[in-house]
Structures are given as structure tokens and as C-alpha cells.
Structure 1
Amino acid sequence: MLTSLVSGAVVFPGLFYGLGKILKFKFRHWDDADVVTVSERLVSAIHASISTATGITVVSSCKNVMTDSHWLVNEFILFGSSYMTTDLLAMYLSHYHIQRLRTQTSLYNRHSQRTIKGFLSKDWLLVLHHLVLVLVFLPIALFLRRGLGDFFIGCFFITEFSTPFLCFGKILIQLGLDNTGLHAINGVLVLLTFFICRILIFPFMYWMYGRQVDLPLHKVAFHLPWHCNVGNLTILIPQIYWFYLLLKKAKRLYNKHRKLN
């Protein structure tokens, strides 16, 4: 387990730093904001791909959704925990360089409490999401669930399936390809994968548990301990909010495309 923790602590910061160096060399006209932002999105896509593959492996191997276990669960939790802290730092650096470029004010000439507060006020929900995963769900998953429910942890890993498409869409915008057919196709894939893997995954988990204990779907929530339902809602509600924002953005882009044609 220590090996997984140390590996993650080396891999994700190393990827972020290494990709930044490569991008700066390949795209010499890019400023620091471009380099940091794209590096962060590439690392997010890599982590999400590993998470999805791990989740599919775990879910497909667990026949009993409560008692079956898989060694990959705890190993990936430890390995991926370093990604969360790396991503928080990367998001802050991305915000810092973008704001410095946009505002051209002395506030963003150096890192300070004010620049950190600006980041926290702008991206507070994402920051809270990362902190809850690290400080609440990670200890629960590792120490408090008594080896039960690897199937459901695997399902949570699969929720990351939409992330590479989200990151790819933002990279296309960064490259000036936001008016292409490729960006439009990717946008459809973002909506589909986000809805299926981040929203429908929750009724799917309840349905699978209901099958295990011979309960209809509508009765499962009343059969589970209250903290399980609260934990699921804590994760689900931000996903619904983010999906709503994605739909608004998709509608805005569709209307813009219609006007141009």
C-alpha cells in the first residue's frame, strides 16, 4: 500500500511538470496560462482513464455487490489520492496565470493570500469536491467500510469516464478548434458520458443492491443506512448541477451555430 501511495505522489506531479516542459518546447508561442491549463487537463484525462479502467475491472469481477473484494480498490485509492492534491495545485496555477494575463494588475505579479482567495471564491465547488474526496471519502473507503462494497467503490471510479472528453473539449478550445465538427461530436460525448456515468450510475448502484437483497428499486433507499444515502446525495447533487451547466453551455453553442448559419 505504501508503494501505491509513493507511486502516485511521484507520477502525478511528475506528469504535470513533464507535460508542461514538453508543451512549452512544442508550442513556443504559448504563454504560461496555456501551458499550465493544458498540462492540468492532460493529467486529469490520464487519471480519469486509469480510474475508469480500474473501476470496470473491479465492477466486472464482483458478483456479490457487498462482500466480494478486489485488491485494486485500496491500491488505486492510495495511488489516486495524490492526484487530488496535484490537481488542486494545478487548478490554482491555471487560475493564477489566466488572471495575470487578463487583468495585468500587480495583484497577480506574485502569489499571495489574495490570489489564493480569488481562486477559492471562483472555484469553491471544485475545491470542496476535491477536499471532501480526500478528507472524508478516502478515510471511509480505506478504514471504515470493513472491506465491504468494493463493487460500489468501483462504480465511483467509473464516474471519471466523462473527464477525458471534458478535458479534450477544453483543449480543442485552447487550440482554436471550437468551431469544428470534432468539437461538436466531443460535446455530444461529454453530455452522454456525464449523464450515464455521473448521474445514472447512482440508480444503477441502488438497482444492483436491490437485486442482491431481492428488493425493488424504489424500496432500496429505505433499506440502506441513512449515512449511505446522505453520502450518495453529497456526491450526486454537484454532478446534477454540473450537468445543468453543461446543458446550458451546449444550448448556448447550438444557438450560436444556428445564427452563424
Structure 2
Amino acid sequence: MKTVILCGGLGTRLRQETEFRPKPLVEIGGRPILWHIMKIYAFHGCKDFVLCLGYKGEMIRQYFLNYQSMLSDFTISGLGPNPSIIYHNTHDEHDLCVTLADTGLETNTGGRIKRVQKYISDDPFMVTYGDGVADIDIRRLLQFHRSHGKLATLTTVRPVSRYGVIDITPDGKVKQFREKPYVDGWINAGFFVFSQGVFDYLDENCVLEREPLERLARDGQLAAFRHERFWYGMDTYRDFLYLNELWDNGEAPWRLWP
């Protein structure tokens, strides 16, 4: 099953890192967040990816073109135009299939998906952002999508406040202090499942999160998969530091693989 990953955004709120590389290549524990996202899907058997490239997309191309040589010891014989290369160790990603597609520098999220339609014959297929990790059960998400019969499923999470919340009485008495509680409501966390009919709601200039999802909701064709465990988007430098801290301390909930 194809998994489309949106990798083309500018990542302006993480400028400390994205000035030099696209956000999907910003590293957690020495590996790009894109690698972590692909490992989440691969753990659940989804190993066929389409990457929607845009800002600094050539760096993502180079990452995959040089993947084997950067991760393995190798012997090179003959330093002419056609050297013989023997790799001495393998890695768990040897069976992944990755299509890299230029979807434009300033294309919006829905437009990027529309532009890779020619690479997607699967029904349904998956879509996610290139900057969020979760301990999500992809198999359960897919089962949920197939069970309700609608065209689209998005994953929702309850956001956690970065600050403690204080409940105060009118006379100033503190009734309750809650450190980093859940905020009321649910937000879009990505990890979509789409049936082929979703392409009818997209054009090459649309923002997925606006008219396409709004129309799908109005038409009764959008369902929400509630994810109650860990999810985190790397939107700012603070998020970058937090995710790296979790990884370095061996406390990364999204690490489902051995």
C-alpha cells in the first residue's frame, strides 16, 4: 500500500534548522525525522512510499541516492567511471520502495497530493506529514477506515498544553493546578487514509486542510480516528530539542521497531 509523505514545506518556524535543509531531514537521534516516520509505517508492513518534494528537495534526493553508501562499510574496486562496489553490511530498510516526486516549491498540501496521483493506484492509500511522529497503530487505522465506508479518515489527537493550568475562584483562591493538561477538543494529526475518490476533491492549487477536508465533512465522507497515546509534531526549535531529548533518553514512544 502506498504511503504519501508531504515533504515540500518551507518549515519557517524551525528556521534554525531548515535554513540549511528541508524539515524532513532535520534529525532526531542522528536520523532524519523522515526516516522515523517511514520506520513507523514499515513496522506495520507499509513499505511503499511516495515523497512529495519541494523546498530543498534535491537534498532529499541525495539522501536516498547515497543511502546505502552512507550506512554501510563497502569496498570499491577500480576508481574509474564504472567501479565495482561491495557492501559489507545490510540494514532494515533494504526492502523499502521510495518514489521521489517534485511537486513544486510553493505548492499547497492538497496540490502536492494531486500531483502524485499518477503514482498511486492503491485504493485506499495513506498520507501523512513529514514532521510528526506517533506510536500509532497503522493496522488499526486502516481497519477503521475500511469499516466506515467513507472516502477519508484523518487521525485526531488531544493536544497537550505546554503550560500548567490554574483553576481560580472569583476571590483568587487556587482550586486546582494541573501541569500540562490536555486541552479541550481534538486536532488533526495527519496519518490520513484516503480512498481514490478523494482525488475528485483535490486540484493542483488546493490546501488539503481547507476546502477538500471541509467538503468531505459536509458530504459525510470524512471520519476521525482517535489516537489517545503519543503524538508530537516538530514545528519549532523547542519541539526539535524535546524529541531529541526523548530519543537520547531511550524514552521515544514512537520507536515501535526493535
Larger proportion of strand: 2
Shorter chain as normaliser: what TM range? Answer: under 0.3
